[in-house]
Amino acid sequence: MSNLAAENKSEEKVIKLDVERDGHGDHTRRHADRFKILLFVLPFLLLISMTLSVMLGPVSIPALTVWKIALSHFPLLENLTTKDWSTAQSNIVWEIRFPRVLLGATVGAGLALVGAGIQALVRNSLADPYILGVSSGASVGATLVILFGAFSLFGEYALSLAAFLGALLSVILVFLLSQVGGRISTIRLLLAGIAISMILSAATNFIVISAPEGEGIRNAMFWMMGSLVGANWNSLPMAVIAVTITFIYLVSQSRALNLLMMGEETAATLGLNIDLFRKILIVITALLTGVLVAVSGAIGFVGLMIPHIVRLLIGSDHKKVLPISLLMGAIFMIWADVGARLVVAPEELPIGIVTALCGGPFFIWLLRKSSYSFGGNS
């Protein structure tokens, strides 16, 4: 079968899958309309969310001042603004809040992408890097670096490298344990993910309590629950680059992701090298998870909720799912961080607590909504 014929058949099956789930002939058209609306509206919501997040805090700063300060740091735009703000406001906006908001948006976008990729990989809407133990694996490597200086040979990249290796090891273990006769079993997948996650979480806790300094233990525990407190301009580039590369790769492989959703036999028939693609996808998702955990700690449920909500809104075509998940993940994480900062102000909650409070009930709802699955994989 030619590549063109395979691609056309792939698209037809994705459309057929969406129509069968809803039972209405105009289901695909509604999805297309929603996609266009979301693609137009979400960037504006993201910009508004970023602005409000920078404005809110113990020191309230007007929106106009926020953007004047931001523009003043760009050489070609600095003369377009009149400097009518204080040095304190400048430091708060540019040195503290803007890096935090941008990092939060980047982490949220990245976790949503990882969730979409893993859900397609295992054909299971209940999968995400947190539930499958990937984040726990990354946490083991990261805490070794934070508390004991492991991988110090790699300097500033030690934390990201250690988190990546931990994430890669955990996802490979879960993937191997969940297979029955060469196929992924949903039940085994969840059980393997929970088991590996518990084992690695126990390992992380052991590493933490073995640390020699009490202050280091407190910082590590706060980081393990997810936090953007350490956000700065130096921590942004690696995360942004990792998310950008992953997004470009996944979008370029959107047809392959669609084929995976239809089952291994169908994907192989249509010419997809399943083993090679799976290996590449595992490495890509583990790498991105490791980078994100390194800069923000283990933040759960974002990769579970966002891709699933997006699929319910616009269907299962990853060419549409991925960009919308990217934007929605960024917006969700920004507001989760706002909640973490303001709910118990002047203290601050770990952001992982906020996402868990949202994601836990959502996960229970998914478990009860048994009618939704990728091709009935069990």
Of residues 338 and 122, more confidently modeled:
338
pLDDT digits (tens, 9 = 90+) for 239-264: 999 999 999 999 999 999 998 888 77
Coil, helix or strand at residue 187: helix
pLDDT digits (tens, 9 = 90+) for 67-116: 888 888 887 766 666 777 888 888 999 999 999 999 999 999 999 999 99
Partners of 180 in beta bridges? 183
Residue with tokens 């960024």: 330
What are the b/e assignments for 352-374, b being 16+ CB within 10 Å? bbbbbebbeeebeebeeeeeebb
What are the DSSP calls for 73-136, one per residue?
A: TSTTTGGGS---S-HHHHIIIIIIIHHHHHHHHHHHHHHHHHHHHHHHHHT-TT--TTTTTHHH
CA 40 to chain centre: 22
234-237 contacts, C-beta under 8 A, 24 or more apart: 235/99, 235/103, 235/295, 236/99, 236/102, 236/103, 236/106
State how far the Cα of 279 lies from the Cα of 193, in Å rounded to an integer: 18
Tell me which residue of 225, 76, 268, 216 sits closest to 136, measured CA to CA. Answer: 225
Of residues 231 and 334, more confidently modeled:
334
**Domains along the chain with CATH numbers:** 3-55+102-368 (1.10.3470.10)
Residue 373 confidence (pLDDT) above 70: no
Residues 6+ apart with CB under 8 A from 254: 317, 318, 319, 322
Q: What pTM does this model have?
A: 0.83
| pLDDT score at 376 | 44
Tell me which residue of 141, 128, 233, 269 sits closest to 189, measured CA to CA. Answer: 128
Q: Is 271 exposed, middle or buried (0-12, 13-18, 19+ CB in 10 A)?
A: middle
